[in-house]
Amino acid sequence: MAVDWTLIVPILIGALVTFQGAASTLLGRIGGPAFATWLVFTAPVIPSLITFLIETKAATATVTFTQGATDAPWFSYCGGFMGPFIVWSVLTCVPKIGVNLFFSIQVSAQLLSALLFQHFGAVGVVQRSASVGMIVGLSLTIVGVLVILLAKLRSAAGQQEEEADYENSPTSTIETPESIEFLASDKASSSTGDLLQVEDSPQQKQLQRSGPKSEAVSLLKYGVCLVWGIFSGVAASLQAGMNSTLGIKYNSAAFATFVVACVAFVPCSVAYVVEYMRCPTNFRKVRAETPWWCYPCGLVGFGIVMMFSYLPQRLDSSVLMGALVCTQILSSLAADHFGWWRLSVNRVTGLKAVGASLLVGGVIVMSVWN
């Protein structure tokens, strides 16, 4: 199959998914997870309504409400629940296991489930048997993700060893007037009451540059986060099939997008009300600490829903998901390498580069040789 030019859309959206994940995570830390999820899924309602109104007023409008209500299966209306679950999973799990690891697990589940749904024609996806090329491409992408995962685990282990060596090093315990800060407390004060300036060691400067670290979690919670990563990957594939089915039955991708946005808004609003009753949002803190670029991250969700509503009719499900998650992984690697959007700095190693190359190669094979 020739490469369709619309492949550029999931490539761009995939790059923006990392931005949305980083921005929503920061929003969750400042205002709370439910508040961040609600804000992310409030933004798509207005543009989806405008898009729907424009489409219905066009001369070529062919929305079939009566026929769609009769033919659309019940599960096609559930795509709106997938998005909030995915964002909630990102907000909950990324601070605990890191963005690269979470996205790696999510990517594997996305690609595998997309291929299975297409092979069996599940959740409204057009049935098409898996070809040798698709299987080979999927295998390459999974191997690439596993290599990236291995690189992440090795990097984390190395960082822990460096921190342990620093804590146990003599320089970390020897107190000298040139390097120690005497805190203004009962146990540490100078005879004149003056405080001496700290000169950060190279290790401390490196830790400061690395940004916020993942939370310390138990093995059980770590495993739960990995499972949620798998579920969120499957949810992304489910959303693609559900949105596409709804758009086909109503003969309007814009209507399907509007329905999905409205459905997603309901559980997000309920969750936020519950969170607000337990712990009211500090809006003054949100306004003071939230960067301006966090607020438009909800529009990425609108682009994702539009993509899942329009493109499955042009691109195979596995190709669509492959291009999406490929750029998602590459953009997350770049964001980690340079510390974009207040993410912690994790330099790209040779092993990570090999994994990314395998992943890109697998997506090319799935797109061209199937």
pLDDT, tens digit (0-9, with 9 covering 90-100), for 190-247: 344 443 344 444 444 444 444 455 455 567 777 788 888 889 888 888 887 888 788 8
Q: Judge whether 115 and 130 are in contact, CB under 8 Å.
A: yes
Least confident of 59-68, 81-90, 149-158, 300-309: 149-158
Query: Taking Cα atoms as reference points, which of 330, 314, 267 lies closest to residue 88?
Result: 267
Q: Is 72 inside any structural domain?
A: yes
Paired tokens of 362 = 């697998």
Q: Is 202 inside any structural domain?
A: no
Strand, coil or helix: what is 58? coil
Q: List Cβ neighbours of 71 (8 Å cut-off, separation of 6 or more).
A: 249
Res 193: pLDDT: 42
Rounded Cα distance, 187 and 42, in Å:
51
Res 273: pLDDT: 92
pLDDT band at 183 (very low <50, low <70, confident <90, very high): very low
pLDDT band at 358 (very low <50, low <70, confident <90, very high): confident
Paired tokens of 278 = 């337990």
Helical pair 8-31 and 317-338, crossing angle rounded to 10 deg? 50
Q: Which domain holds residue 60?
A: 5-157+213-368
Res 260: pLDDT: 86
Average pLDDT (35-55) is: 87
Q: E strand or H helix at 207, and its extent?
A: helix 202-209
| Average pLDDT taken over every residue of the chain | 75
Q: Is 203 inside any structural domain?
A: no
Q: Is 166 inside any structural domain?
A: no
Rounded Cα distance, 149 and 108, in Å:
11
Res 302: pLDDT: 81
Q: Is 114 inside any structural domain?
A: yes
User: Per mean pLDDT, which of 127-136, 289-298, 303-312, 325-334 is the most reliable?
Assistant: 289-298
Higher per-residue pLDDT: 207 or 281? 281
pLDDT band at 40 (very low <50, low <70, confident <90, very high): confident
Rounded to a whole number of angstroms, the distance between the first and last alpha carbons of the chain is 7
Strand, coil or helix: what is 126? coil
The pTM score is 0.69
Task: Tell me how far CA of residue 126 lies from CA of 22, 178, 210, in angstroms.
Answer: 33, 70, 45
Q: Is 360 inside any structural domain?
A: yes
User: Per mean pLDDT, which of 133-137, 161-165, 282-286, 342-346 is the most reliable?
Assistant: 282-286
Rounded Cα distance, 243 and 64, in Å:
16
Average pLDDT (177-188) is: 37
Rounded Cα distance, 160 and 151, in Å:
14
Paired tokens of 157 = 């282990």
Res 309: pLDDT: 67
Res 353: pLDDT: 83
Count of domains observed in the chain = 1
Query: Taking Cα atoms as reference points, which of 86, 36, 29, 47 lies closest to residue 328?
Result: 86
Q: Judge whether 348 and 333 are in contact, CB under 8 Å.
A: yes
Q: Is 180 inside any structural domain?
A: no
pLDDT surpassing 50 at residue 152: yes
Rounded Cα distance, 370 and 367, in Å:
7
Q: Please count the other Cβ atoms lying within 10 Å of the Cβ belonging to residue 1.
A: 12
Q: Is 278 inside any structural domain?
A: yes
Q: Please count the other Cβ atoms lying within 10 Å of the Cβ belonging to residue 223.
A: 12
